[in-house]
């Protein structure tokens, strides 16, 4: 029934997000939406999707003008929507917005990608340190425990994932998790992509109803490795006229590893994290959020 489908009931506006564009955006039946909080494997997943769409095992097929962040608040959203409307090929579209802030189509595919929340926090810290602009520095003071306490304790707000907090990431997750039985909402996890990239590429191909040969899947998995993605970023950085908002553009693709907090947080920090997770999610949800595993 139509009433069982997700509906857009919220608007999210923050430092980097503005969901006003969704009200007039026309979704096509074969659209693929990559729906993640920041630093959960967004560009990685977009690149894999673009390689499958183009049947090309080369990370250079990804371009944020071709596969844009539709509800990015600091870009011309109408211009991006118009650019998408001119595309005749299958579209791949990025959003960091919870499900209750975007338009839903029962025909399009929604790829929901998450990562261990503590890894997200530390990955975002490095991301902000690498940015030339300093407008998010206030969220990441030098004292790691102080910054982590802010991550745990700051409440959710109408900014959505722009809050960069545990609660905002859990909210994003739960808006999709509620509808996980719908056939076109698919959950992927950063840890699963890291453990078995070839298997996850094959899964993406099946989700997108793309016929494939095993060699193509193998080649795309190799081209989509973090080493390959980082080398591509280095090549792009050396290209004439290239500009970036980062000191080191290739650092955007860090190491692709997990458990980055080990040795950096105290036992008390992790006890507070455990208490927050017990408050916010069920054991089943926590197992998936942290490891991508079903109980």
Mean pLDDT across 149-154: 97
What pLDDT score does 1 carry? 40
Q: Would you state the pLDDT for residue 2? A: 47
pLDDT average, residue stretch 189-218: 96
Token pair, residue 230, equals 């980082």
Secondary structure string (H, E, C) spanning the chain? CHHHCCCCCCCCECCCEEHHHHHHCCCCCCCEEEECCCCCCHHHHHHHHHHHHHCCCCHHHCCCCCCCECCECCCCHHHHHHHHHHCCCCCEEEECCCHHHCCCCCCCEEEEEECCHHHHHHHHHHHHHHECCCCCHHHCCCCHHHHHHHHHHCCCCCCHHHHCCHHHHHHHHHHHHCCCCCCCEEEEEHHHHHHCHHHHHHHHHHHCCCCCCHHHHHHHHHHCCHHHHHHHHHHHHCCCCCCCCECCHHHHCCCCCCCCCCCCCCHHHHHHHHHHHHHHCCHHHHHHHHHCCCC
Tokens found for residue 180: 């996980």
- Does the pLDDT value for residue 238 go beyond 80? no
CATH numeric code, 2-291: 3.40.50.300
* Each residue's pLDDT tens digit, 160-177: 999 999 999 999 999 999
Q: What is the pTM of this model?
A: 0.91
Percent of the chain at pLDDT above 70?
88
For residues 235-264, average pLDDT: 62
Q: Is the pLDDT of residue 264 over 90?
A: no
Q: Which residues does 74 contact at the CB level (< 8 Å), separation at least 6?
A: 16
Residues composing the chain: 295
Q: Where are the domains of the chain?
A: 2-291
């Amino acid at each position: 029934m139509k009433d069982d489908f997700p509906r857009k009931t919220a608007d999210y506006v923050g430092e980097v997000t503005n969901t006003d564009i969704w009200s007039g955006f026309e979704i096509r039946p074969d659209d693929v939406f990559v729906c993640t909080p920041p630093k959960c494997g967004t560009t990685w997943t977009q690149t894999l999707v673009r390689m499958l769409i183009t049947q090309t095992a080369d990370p250079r097929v990804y371009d944020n003008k071709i596969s844009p962040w539709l509800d990015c608040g600091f870009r011309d959203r109408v211009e991006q929507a118009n650019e998408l409307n001119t595309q005749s090929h299958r579209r791949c579209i990025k959003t960091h917005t919870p499900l209750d802030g975007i338009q839903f189509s029962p025909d399009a595919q929604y790829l929901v990608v998450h990562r261990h929340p503590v890894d997200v926090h530390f990955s975002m810290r490095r991301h902000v340190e690498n940015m030339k602009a300093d407008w998010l520095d206030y969220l990441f003071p030098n004292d790691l425990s102080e910054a982590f306490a802010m991550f745990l304790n700051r409440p959710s707000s109408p900014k959505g994932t722009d809050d960069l907090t545990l609660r905002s990431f859990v909210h994003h997750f739960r808006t999709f998790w509620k509808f996980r039985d719908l056939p076109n909402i698919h959950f992927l996890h950063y840890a699963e992509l890291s453990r078995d990239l070839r298997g996850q590429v094959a899964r993406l191909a099946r989700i997108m109803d793309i016929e494939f040969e095993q060699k193509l899947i193998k080649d795309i998995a190799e081209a989509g490795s973090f080493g390959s993605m980082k080398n591509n970023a280095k090549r792009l950085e050396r290209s004439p006229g290239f500009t970036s908002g980062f000191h080191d553009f290739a650092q955007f693709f860090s190491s692709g590893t997990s458990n980055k907090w080990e040795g950096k947080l105290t036992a008390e920090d992790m006890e507070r994290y455990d208490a927050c997770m017990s408050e916010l999610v069920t054991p089943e949800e926590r197992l998936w959020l942290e490891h991508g595993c079903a109980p």
